[in-house]
Amino acid sequence: MAGIYIHIPFCKKLCFYCDFYHVISVADSSAFRVALIKEISLRKDYLGSETISTIYFGGGTPSVFSVEEIAAILGEIRNNFIVEYDCEITIELNPDDVSSSYLAGLKGLNINRISLGIQSWRDDDLKMMNRRHSAAQAEDALRDVFSAGFENVTVDLIYGIPGMTAKDWEANLDFTFSFGIKHLSAYHLTIEKGTVFGKMLEKGQMVEIDEDESSTLFNILIEKAEAAGFIQYEISNFGKPGYFSKHNSNYWKQVNYIGLGPSAHSFNGFSRQWNVKNLKGYIKSVNAGQPDFEKEELDLKTRFNEYIMTSLRTMWGIDLEYIEKTFEKEGYDYIINLAGKFKEYGLIKMDKKTLVLTNQGKMISDNIISEFMMPE
């Protein structure tokens, strides 16, 4: 059981919040496709003999590629890896790339999970974030996805956008849940350094919403998602039973994966590596026979901290038996000693086997997680 992530780094327009590696030009897309296909065979041994249970096309914007181009990438994956028959295959789509014929083509490739980047149903928010599409286009796209016969459909939304009120957020959620989606990823807007929003913040042209507002919006999200039958299995991810993202859940459960394309990360249990974050550098290095990457060997403390960081964000929480087995008495005692005060304040729930955040704890998850990390 292992995963494959494919990073398609092209975007037609710059979203003002986005810090994911992308280039605003499709000029190099053919050269990139050739290099990507080559990288698949060059790195076919990275996962040993593990079979592939999830494939995820992310970006950037995978939907800049035609059905034939996606087919060629999937074909090469099948030539070089053993793909399980019920493999979850997800593709991120930008609403304005969606058409009935495109969707029918993707269905024909056995892609079985669609992730639609809607972000907001309010045109004001979409304009402010410099999205390429309107709310009406997003609605058409979502309807088209269902009409094409996809049932495992997830939507991305962003909240905490300056100018979006609690009522707007409620309306966004209500409208989202009025479709038959099976999964929602809802992210609080993060203003990253170096993005357009980051620069606006520095110049005082933008103000972040305050913590109380953030908590109110997060509470609304939790309540509405639960009322609509969704389970919050990770801080930002909500799924109907049976529809949690297998690919992302595997990241959080330390399952191995290979990341293909510029900036993509790979993990094999002992080390992490990440491809060069530069399209031209990536293409050149792959064509020369060795994708350029950096690597970090994971010592026990790093593995402990990574485990804390990912597991505490999930509904499964920290598995205390796993901690004792992997990090021995030292790791186990470290957690138990810290847990008391958080339990007292109602921020965590703990039994003999697991330690999970309560709803109150989820509000300040970043602070709690950093307290549980072992210092360097």
Near ligand SF4 by CB under 6 A: residue from 1, 14, 31, 104: 14
3-state secondary structure of 353: coil
* Residue 250 site contact among ligand SAM, ligand SF4, none (CB < 5 to 8 Å, cut-off depends on kind): none
Residue 140, CB-side half-sphere exposure with 13 Å CA sphere: 11
Helices (H) and strands (E) in the chain, counts: 14, 15
Helix intervals (H) in 17-115? 29-42, 67-80, 100-108
- Give whichever of 187 and 334 is closer to ligand SF4, judged by the CB atom: 187
- Give whichever of 56 and 233 is closer to ligand SAM, judged by the CB atom: 56
Binding window for ligand SF4 (CB under 6 A); candidates: 57-65, 100-108, 144-152, 336-344: 57-65
Does 106 contact ligand SF4 by CB under 6 A? no
Binding window for ligand SF4 (CB under 6 A); candidates: 40-48, 53-61, 101-109, 272-280: 53-61
DSSP state of 148: T
Closest CA to 2 of 250, 293, 306: 250
Shortest Cβ distance from residue 190 to ligand SF4 (Å)? 12
- Give whichever of 5 and 307 is closer to ligand SAM, judged by the CB atom: 5
* Residues paired with 54 in a beta bridge: 3, 88
3-state secondary structure of 361: helix
Give the whole-angstrom CA distance, residue 257 versus residue 199.
Answer: 34
3-state secondary structure of 62: helix
Binding window for ligand SF4 (CB under 6 A); candidates: 58-66, 228-236, 262-270, 322-330: 58-66
Near ligand SF4 by CB under 6 A: residue from 60, 239, 259, 261: 60
Shortest Cβ distance from residue 271 to ligand SAM (Å)? 24
Near ligand SF4 by CB under 6 A: residue from 4, 5, 7, 22: 22
Asked whether the beta carbons of 121 and 138 are under 8 A apart, the reply is yes
Shortest Cβ distance from residue 156 to ligand SF4 (Å)? 8
* Residue 96 site contact among ligand SF4, ligand SAM, none (CB < 5 to 8 Å, cut-off depends on kind): none
3-state secondary structure of 211: helix
Near ligand SF4 by CB under 6 A: residue from 53, 54, 61, 314: 61
- Give whichever of 76 and 92 is closer to ligand SAM, judged by the CB atom: 92
Near ligand SF4 by CB under 6 A: residue from 53, 54, 90, 94: 94
- Give whichever of 60 and 291 is closer to ligand SAM, judged by the CB atom: 60
Cβ contacts of 335 within 8 Å, gap of 6 or more: 318, 320, 323, 355, 372
Binding window for ligand SF4 (CB under 6 A); candidates: 16-24, 29-37, 257-265, 333-341: 16-24
- Give whichever of 186 and 348 is closer to ligand SAM, judged by the CB atom: 186
Q: Cβ of 288: how many Cβ atoms within 10 Å?
A: 9
Cβ contacts of 336 within 8 Å, gap of 6 or more: none
Q: H-helix or E-strand containing 235?
A: none
Does 11 contact ligand SF4 by CB under 6 A? yes
Residues 177-206 that bind ligand SF4 (CB under 6 A): none
3-state secondary structure of 190: coil
Is omega for the bond preceding 289 within 30 degrees of 0, making it cis? no
- Tell me how far CA of residue 114 lies from CA of 63, 175, 178, 240, in angstroms: 11, 18, 17, 15
Near ligand SF4 by CB under 6 A: residue from 4, 15, 158, 276: 15
* Residue 14 site contact among ligand SAM, ligand SF4, none (CB < 5 to 8 Å, cut-off depends on kind): ligand SF4
Near ligand SF4 by CB under 6 A: residue from 1, 18, 42, 356: 18
For 173, counting Cβ atoms within 10 Å of its Cβ (0-12 exposed, 13-18 middle, 19+ buried), the class is buried
* Residue 156 site contact among ligand SAM, ligand SF4, none (CB < 5 to 8 Å, cut-off depends on kind): ligand SAM
Shortest Cβ distance from residue 202 to ligand SAM (Å)? 15
User: In the numeric block, which tokens belong to residue 325?
Assistant: 């087995």
Report the interface residues with ligand SF4, using CB under 6 A.
11, 14-15, 18, 20, 22, 59-61, 94, 117
